[in-house]
Structure 1
Amino acid sequence: MPETPSLPTLLATDGDGFVLDPEDLEAMRAERDHYEQPQAACIEALKIVQRRHGWVPDGAIPAVASALGLGVAEVEGVATFYSLIFRRPVGRHVILLCDSSSCFLCGFDALRAAVEERLAIGFGETTADGRFTLLPVCCLGACDGAPALMIDDDTFGPVAAGELDDLLEAYP
């Protein structure tokens, strides 16, 4: 494996005050060193930032690029391509509502209407209390449980509108 350059212990970026946490930087270093190509660690590095901050702020992009030895545009391209990297603040819990063909055919419209009515938000919005953000996702890989949704890392399906209250109450 080619030798990788050493990293600074802290990285501040473009004057916006964003600084990588030393523990996060070390985790990024470990990810980068795990692969021959540093690009392979990009998604995990962005997830590391997201786990700490809840989303990936603009200032994190140059910091991640520096940590991995990549260009800022490379990291920005990855961050904007993957729908599970959040580029703006989200609620404490993110609901991903699957709108794949399977879910669409098995009740997506009714489930979407029920979720939107129950939370009083639409796609891309966060509840007033900051508890939930609702986002569409093209596939959860849960076609056998359509219509499906994911809350944080938990997948549910099939989900009927009448089950929503109990389901949402499990996420304070």
Structure 2
Amino acid sequence: MRIRNVLLALPLLALPATGCGIRATDVVEVGGPAVVDVAPGREQSTVLYFVSSSSGNRLMPVVRPNEVPWEGTSEGGSQLVRQDADQALVLLFEGPNRNEAATGLLTELPSVRAKASIELGPDGVLVRVNSPVTTLSEVARQQLICTAAQARTADRGEAVTVTGTDGVIGPARCSV
């Protein structure tokens, strides 16, 4: 009885090994990976780069609308405040908002009341901030560089030079 069961099971075991008639092919090259814009144009949004606590210091882009409600008008209502490229760095130094922090985003930049300016020069993006920059970690530097390049040119590949109260870093490019 046992031998009979084994003999009946052998054809069933051989069936998956024969495949379904699909022949093997070589690898087909189709080009590079897809590139997707994570945000609408600069006119509608600002992209800030924060650090993901769950991805080992990996930078993550955060999209914020350019027109944000500002609560604090004398009537108790809100008004819309337009953000520009310089404001992107101010927002970056303020760190993630409550919702962003709740998702595990953080910053390695010091919490300072930053004044910043971003200009596009012949050698790339020029950033001036009123805080020390030479002692920043590499992740904090990349936060600054990626945000500035995206805010000024929408091209993270643009070279960025950052001047602070203690010296200059760069030119460097965004590594994200």
Q: TM (normalized to structure 1)?
A: 0.24
- The TM-score normalised by the length of structure 2 is 0.24
Q: Which structure shows the bigger proportion of residues in helix conformation?
A: 1
